[in-house]
Amino acid sequence: MNWIGYDKRASSAVGLYQATIFPAQHLALIGYIIFRRFQGRGYAREGVRTIIQYMADRDDIGTIRAEIGETNAASIGVVSALHFKLRDRNPGEGRDGDLVCDDLVYELRV
């Protein structure tokens, strides 16, 4: 599933949101990107909150997962504020520009 975040006041797309559904595992893997000029304005939190609400209404989703590079403090802050819990670390799976880093796996039960 893919969505475009749009701010009517700015008459502009602000970012992209995505969810991959794994019904057999009752899992949704989510991700997003907020365009640079709109970062830091709450669009990530609002979009992820909307995805959580959407997934909570589905019968085939019990867990929402976000895999975040360990250096991405902003995204870690977003999922932490929305009550995701750190569940795992995937060594060498993340990227920060050209640098390889660990991915942190956060989950939320819905």
* 21 CB-near residues (< 8 Å, 6+ apart): 1, 27, 28, 60, 61
| pLDDT value at 94 more than 90 | no
Q: Does domain 2-109 have CATH number 1.10.1750.10?
A: no
Tell me which of 70 and 95 has the higher pLDDT: 70
Predicted confidence at residue 53, as pLDDT, reads 97
Number of residues assigned to the chain = 110
Three-state SS letters, 53-105: HHHHCCCCCCEEEEEEECCCHHHHHHHHHCCCEEEEEEEEEEEECCEEEEEEE
| pLDDT value at 13 more than 90 | yes
pLDDT digits (tens, 9 = 90+) for 22-78: 999 999 999 999 999 999 999 999 999 999 999 999 999 999 999 999 999 999 999
